[in-house]
Amino acid sequence: MKIDEQIKELLIHHLPNRYEDTLSCYEMWRHEDWKDMNPDGTINGFISYFFLDFKFDMIITAQWDNKFSKAQWKLIRDTVVNRTKPIRIQSDPTNPILHKIAKKYGGKFVEDEIWFK
């Protein structure tokens, strides 16, 4: 289990002083990655789905300017709606849009995570 180098670079940019724990998830758990690529071959955003040995699975997602593409939103929505296990996504609890979207798809904020049961 290894992290894609473009995803690693984006995570470090996105979480400048607190990325170590997030990076360690890629070494510990099996995951599948989806990357939103720019025409020049650079990464614009990503979604990583982690298959955990817990009662829930986990998603890590980021985008360079925090404005997810329509494709990224659609994949997150489809994953949450069609889940077979509860999912948790660590997120920014101060963002009102995320509260609205979480509620729309049956999720709720618990501290800094969105829980979808």
Question: What digits encode the pLDDT tens for the residues 11-21?
Answer: 999 888 889 99
Range of the structural domain that residue 83 is part of: 5-116
Instruction: Give the closest residue to 76 by CA, choosing from 91, 61, 86, 92.
Output: 61
What does the chain come to in residues? 117
What phi and psi values does residue 96 have, to the nearest 5 degrees? -65, -30
Domain count within the chain = 1
CB hemisphere CA count around 66 (13 angstroms): 8
Domain of residue 75, CATH code: 3.40.630.30
Question: What digits encode the pLDDT tens for the residues 60-111?
Answer: 999 988 888 899 999 999 999 999 999 999 887 888 888 888 999 999 999 8
Residue 31 CA to residue 48 CA, distance in Å, equals 6
Residue pair 80/107 in contact (Cβ under 8 Å)? The answer is yes
Cα distances (Å, whole numbers) of residue 109 to 6, 21, 117? 29, 20, 12
Residue 108 CA to residue 88 CA, distance in Å, equals 10
What phi and psi values does residue 87 have, to the nearest 5 degrees? -130, 145
Question: What digits encode the pLDDT tens for the residues 21-57?
Answer: 999 999 999 999 999 999 999 999 999 999 999 999 9
